[in-house]
């Protein structure tokens, strides 16, 4: 553990994030809400600023210099993301407004083309609402049926039940790679293998996974992968859907409008090729330029190099928090990312959230958009500390002291 920072300069990383210098209620910020959104490094902020201050233009349709520059920066981000997740083709990288938007795209477009009445969509009990509701909407529209794989009390999926639920009516498996409320890293390689053995495609919700470990879509062999830019140190309002071209080509467009067409007459409209078929309207240009820069930042850093550091912070936080009487950690899977959900017998999560904030510690409280997970444990809310590359053992100490202080107030 002590050698965890050999390849990783934590002081340098912390200095890259200006928001860490902000004081909250008279204390230096301890930011532990990375599961909701990560802070942004200065280089990303600069890239967004540069677009608005020096190369403002719409993309794709202009011949003037600024439009060429903006288009080149914007499409450069797509190439950057392609290499980041090792997608075979550039056309398989669809820009969306976030993970939610990407999942809705698949639900609507794949659903319209491939899902009939009586067919089944297979998800899990630990999905974020954004990987539940789009499928419920599809079920209402198409008459298909949503099937749910349960998890055990540690927060690990029951693969045996998954196998039993996979059948000839299953049209898609949509599963979260890393649970946002439990931290569980799901065995997606095995899930994909089992699903593919029955010719069922798999969508991975990688919102929490993408900033934690390197993702190789070819090695995973997933059919779709969705993630958000803002949880990867990029701007809000950016997201990515990777999809295998064989599926994307068969799917109807998502929204109608500019950029997604090749030609329009009142008799017939011909849709554009991938990826633009799924990208109607002026996109979040500055946002994606910022995301491209964020991905470059992460590539320069090497996510694999940050892993030991984050595992150390999680192990330390888990050990320190567990020492406090009355604390129960929710989500104790063998394989976890640096997400620590917990409850206390005397202090409600919302009081905990407000009280630790008074000590400058930002955590998230509530159901984390995973009400079925709360129901599983018979609770209404948890407090969640989620750690990123810039968090330290000192942050853990401040967090644990703030939690202790909150509990003492209620003693």
Partner 1 sequence: MPDPDTQLYQQTIIEHSRAPKNFGPLENASHHAEGYNPICGDHIHLYLLITDNTIRSFHFDGDCCAVCKASASLMTEALKEQSVEVFDDVLQSFLKLVDPKVRLSDVRIPDALRIFAGIREYPSRVHCATLPWKTAANAINNQSTITSTENSA
Of 59 and 343, which has the nearer Cβ to partner 1? 343
HSE (side-chain half, CA atoms, 13 Å) at 296: 16
In terms of Cα–Cα distance, which of 147, 140, 145 is closest to 175? 147
- Other CB atoms within 10 Å distance of the CB of residue 83: 12
Q: How many CA atoms within 13 Å lie on the side-chain side of 338?
A: 29
Quickly list H helices, 342-409: 349-357, 371-377, 393-409
Structure tokens at 125: 């009990």
Q: Which residues pair with 269 in a beta bridge?
A: 264
* Least gap, CB of 349 to partner 1 (angstroms): 7
Phi, psi of 224 (to 5 degrees): -140, 150
Q: What are phi and psi of 400, to 5 degrees?
A: -65, -40
Q: Which residue has the tokens 């928090």?
A: 321
Between 306 and 365, CB nearer to partner 1: 365
Please give the DSSP secondary-structure letter assigned to residue 240. Answer: E
Question: Please, which residue, 173 or 374, has the CB nearer to partner 1?
Answer: 374
Shortest distance, CB of residue 342 to partner 1, whole angstroms?
Answer: 15
**Helix or strand run (H / E) with residue 133:** helix 133-142
Please give the distance of CA 82 from its chain centroid, rounded to a whole number: 17
Interface ranges with partner 1 (CB under 8 A): 25-26, 347-351, 354-355, 358, 365-367, 374, 380-381, 409-410
Nearer to partner 1, 204 or 374 (CB): 374
* Entry field: residues in the chain: 411
Which C-beta is closer to partner 1: that of 3 or that of 378?
378
Q: Which is nearer to partner 1, 47 or 355 (CB)?
A: 355
- Specify whether the CB–CB gap between 303 and 287 falls below 8 A: no
Name the catalytic one among 43, 158, 222, 369: 369
Of 68, 138, 84, 140, whose CA–CA distance to 297 is shortest?
84
Cβ neighbours of residue 325 under 8 Å, at least 6 residues apart? none
Is position 43 annotated as part of the catalytic site?
A: no
**Cβ atoms < 10 Å from Cβ of 280:** 17
Smallest gap from residue 366 Cβ to partner 1 (A): 6
Judge contact between 275 and 79, C-beta under 8 A: no
Smaller CB separation from partner 1, 78 or 344: 344
Quick check: 58 and 270 in contact, CB under 8 A?
A: no
Catalytic positions, written as ranges: 369
């Amino acid at each position: 553990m002590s050698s965890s920072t050999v390849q990783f300069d934590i002081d340098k990383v912390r200095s890259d994030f200006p928001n860490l210098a902000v004081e909250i209620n008279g204390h230096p910020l301890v930011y532990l809400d990375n599961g909701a959104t990560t802070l942004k490094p200065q280089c990303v902020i600069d890239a967004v600023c540069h677009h608005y201050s020096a190369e403002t233009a719409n993309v794709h349709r202009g011949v003037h210099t600024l439009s060429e520059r903006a288009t080149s920066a914007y499409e450069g981000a797509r190439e950057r993301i392609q290499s980041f997740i090792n997608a075979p083709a550039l056309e398989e990288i669809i820009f969306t407004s976030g993970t939610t938007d990407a999942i809705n795209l698949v639900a609507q477009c794949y659903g319209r083309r491939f899902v009939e009445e009586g067919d089944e969509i297979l998800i899990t009990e630990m999905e974020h609402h954004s990987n539940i509701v789009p499928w419920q909407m599809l079920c209402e529209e198409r008459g298909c049926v949503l099937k749910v794989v349960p998890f055990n009390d540690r927060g690990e999926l029951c693969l045996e039940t998954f196998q039993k639920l996979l059948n000839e009516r299953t049209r898609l498996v949509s599963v979260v790679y890393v649970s946002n409320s439990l931290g569980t890293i799901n065995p997606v390689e095995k899930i994909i293998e089992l699903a593919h053995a029955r010719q069922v495609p798999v969508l991975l919700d990688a919102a929490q996974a993408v900033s934690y470990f390197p993702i190789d879509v070819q090695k995973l062999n997933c059919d779709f992968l969705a993630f958000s830019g803002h949880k990867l140190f990029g701007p809000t309002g950016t997201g990515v859907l990777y999809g295998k071209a064989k599926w994307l080509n068969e799917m109807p467009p998502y929204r109608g409008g500019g950029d997604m067409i090749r030609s329009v007459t009142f008799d017939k409209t011909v849709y554009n090729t991938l990826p633009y078929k799924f990208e109607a309207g002026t996109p979040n240009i500055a946002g994606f330029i910022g995301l491209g820069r964020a991905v470059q930042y992460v590539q320069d850093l090497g996510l694999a190099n940050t892993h030991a550091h984050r595992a150390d912070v999680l192990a330390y936080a888990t050990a320190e928090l567990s020492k406090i009487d009355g604390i129960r950690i929710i989500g104790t899977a063998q394989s976890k990312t640096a997400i620590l959900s917990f409850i206390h017998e005397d202090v409600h999560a919302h009081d905990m959230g407000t009280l630790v904030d008074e000590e400058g510690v930002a955590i998230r409280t509530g159901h984390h958009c995973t009400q079925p997970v709360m129901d599983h444990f018979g609770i209404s809310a948890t407090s969640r500390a989620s750690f990123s590359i810039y968090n330290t053992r000192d942050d853990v100490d401040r967090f644990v002291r703030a939690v202790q202080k909150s509990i003492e107030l209620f003693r």
